[in-house]
Amino acid sequence: MNAKDNLFEIIKANASQKELNWIETKASGSLQSLQTAFVATPRFISKTPINTFETLNGVDFKTWTLDKLVRAYFLASLSDLHKEVYTKTLHTLFETAENNEAVALISSLVFLENPETWLLRATDAVRTNIGVVFDAIAFKNPYPQEYFSELAWNQLVLKCIFNDKPIQRILGLDERANKELATSISNLAHERWAAGRSIPPQAWRLVVKYLDETIFEDIKRLFDSESQNDQIAAALVCKYSEFETAKSKLEIHADLKDKTKNLTWSSLEC
């Protein structure tokens, strides 16, 4: 089955008969009717949470509502169109999107034809300051992990850290950790420290694999921090790192070593 049919199966299990009738009428209509249906969905479809354990193209629907799912289905229904018309239609939907429509579009990127061609829309969502739209690309969305360049990926993660957002909800967070990102996090910490501010302690999980003499200076500073969570972060970095100096440093801080024995990064998640 293709994405469209799979999405419809989940909709069937969650929608009322009246809602299903409306969806079917619109899905079999003209292109204009489909486009209008995408916009008008919340007028006819409830915002009830989706109840399913299924995942599709790497998307789990735990935080989805029915109106969003129906919008994803309408988008997937466009895939039969001629390529040029398809592209033009989607651009129009992106460019005229209200916030909830933008969320539906960004959350559905992996259900679109040739998802890689929509990269600029995805990175635009990282650039937005509208919280819900940014969250739609950042969290529980398989698109960035699969299609973002290292530069785009790092911008996404850094913006999350910068805005105190929960990075653990980014899919592929550990898999796509990289040296460049580790350095940027260290630089961000220095800027914040100079301003008398701090970075969220769990951001340091991303430097574990790239610990060197320079970044280790930051870890030492965390051990001396007044914040308990900074100290725990320092201990966790040393606990997971292969860097020898880090290992011996942890031995010196026996109390923290003991304290973090049963802790993981999830203990610091916000």
Partner 1 sequence: MCQKESEIKQNPSHFEGTAEEHEMSKTIQANYMDYVKGMKFFDPHIHMSSRTTDDYTALVDAGVVAIIEPAFWLGQPRTGLASFKDYYSSLVGWERFRSSQFGIKHYCTIGLNSREANNEALAEEVMEILPLFLYKEGVVGVGEIGFDDQTAAEEKYYRQQLEMSKEASLPVQVHTPHRDKKKGTELSMSIALEHGIDPRMVIIDHNNEETVESVLDKGFWAAFTIYPFTKMGNERMVELVKKYGPERIMINSAADWGISDPLAVPKTAALMKIMGISDEAIKLVCYQNAIDAFAQSGQINVSDFETPQEIDQSLKFNGNTVLRGGQIPRVDKNSIFIS
**C-alpha span between 83 and 87 (Å, rounded):** 6
Asked if residue 163 binds partner 1 (CB under 8 A), the reply is: yes
Asked if residue 72 binds partner 1 (CB under 8 A), the reply is: no
- Going residue by residue from 39 to 68, which x/- string records binding to partner 1, judged by CB under 8 A? xx-xx-------------------------
CB atoms within 10 A of CB 157: 25
SS (H, E, C) 66-134: HHHHHHHHHHHHHHHCCHHHHHHHHHHHHHCCCHHHHHHHHHCHHHCCCHHHHHHHHHHHHHCCCHHHH
Asked if residue 217 binds partner 1 (CB under 8 A), the reply is: no
Please state, in angstroms and as integers, the Cα–Cα distance from residue 34 to each residue in 22, 41, 69, 157, 245, following that order.
Answer: 11, 10, 15, 35, 61
Asked if residue 30 binds partner 1 (CB under 8 A), the reply is: no
CB atoms within 10 A of CB 260: 20
The CB-of-209 to partner 1 minimum distance in angstroms stands at 27
Q: Total binding residues for partner 1 by CB under 8 A?
A: 25
* Closest to 200 in 3D by CA, of 137, 158, 145: 158
The CB-of-13 to partner 1 minimum distance in angstroms stands at 25
Asked if residue 97 binds partner 1 (CB under 8 A), the reply is: yes
**C-alpha span between 69 and 104 (Å, rounded):** 8
Looking at 96, 114, 187, 248, which residue binds partner 1 (CB under 8 A)? 96
Tokens of 145: 């992990």
65 phi, psi to nearest 5 deg:
-110, 165
C-beta of 105 vs 235, nearer to partner 1? 105
Asked if residue 19 binds partner 1 (CB under 8 A), the reply is: no
**C-alpha span between 138 and 128 (Å, rounded):** 11
Asked if residue 85 binds partner 1 (CB under 8 A), the reply is: no
Give the sign of the dihedral formed by CA 124, CA 193, CA 169, CA 42.
negative
C-beta of 12 vs 88, nearer to partner 1? 88
**C-alpha span between 229 and 213 (Å, rounded):** 22
Tokens of 87: 């592209």
> Which residues within the stretch 228-257 sit at the binding site for partner 1 (CB under 8 A)?
none
Asked if residue 129 binds partner 1 (CB under 8 A), the reply is: yes
Asked if residue 29 binds partner 1 (CB under 8 A), the reply is: no
**C-alpha span between 246 and 114 (Å, rounded):** 45
Asked if residue 131 binds partner 1 (CB under 8 A), the reply is: yes
The CB-of-130 to partner 1 minimum distance in angstroms stands at 4
| Region of 11-19, 130-138, 201-209, 211-219 interacting with partner 1 (CB under 8 A) | 130-138
> Which residues within the stretch 101-120 sit at the binding site for partner 1 (CB under 8 A)?
101-102
C-beta of 134 vs 223, nearer to partner 1? 134
C-beta of 163 vs 227, nearer to partner 1? 163
Binding site for partner 1 (CB under 8 A): 35-36, 39-40, 42-43, 92, 95-102, 129-132, 134-135, 162-165
